[in-house]
Amino acid sequence: MKAVFISYNQALTEAISTILDLHNIRGYTKWQDAQGRGSYHGEPHYGTHTWPAKNSAILTIIDQSKVEPLLESLRKLDAKAEQQGLRAFVWNVEGIM
């Protein structure tokens, strides 16, 4: 199993939900109104007067076979809307209860 953490501009919420549905990824935890800024490009997303954009984040635990197809869909979305901000990180899950 793999953990996939997806951080994205809230403007991409509907597209992210569509991608999860497309890959039959049902279980996840979502955080709304997350703040942050990208490592290389883009503006901060702080939800303030100066930097009004906000992020959301999703953590999902999925079978390894679903990881690459999910990441490919996210890469395509990011390529269409680079300025919005979208990142995904994957790491191993050592146990599930």
Whichever domain contains 10, its CATH number is 3.30.70.120
Helix (H, G, I), strand (E, B) or coil at 1: coil
Q: Which domain holds residue 81?
A: 2-92
pTM: 0.90
Average pLDDT, the chain: 92
Confidence tier at 77 by pLDDT (50, 70, 90) = very high
- 48 is a domain residue: yes
Q: Hunting for tokens 């996210």 — which residue is that?
A: 74
Q: Is residue 97 part of a domain?
A: no
Q: According to the model, what pLDDT value does residue 28 have?
A: 97
Torsion of CA 43, 38, 33, 73, to 10 degrees: 110
Q: How many domains does the structure of the chain reveal? A: 1
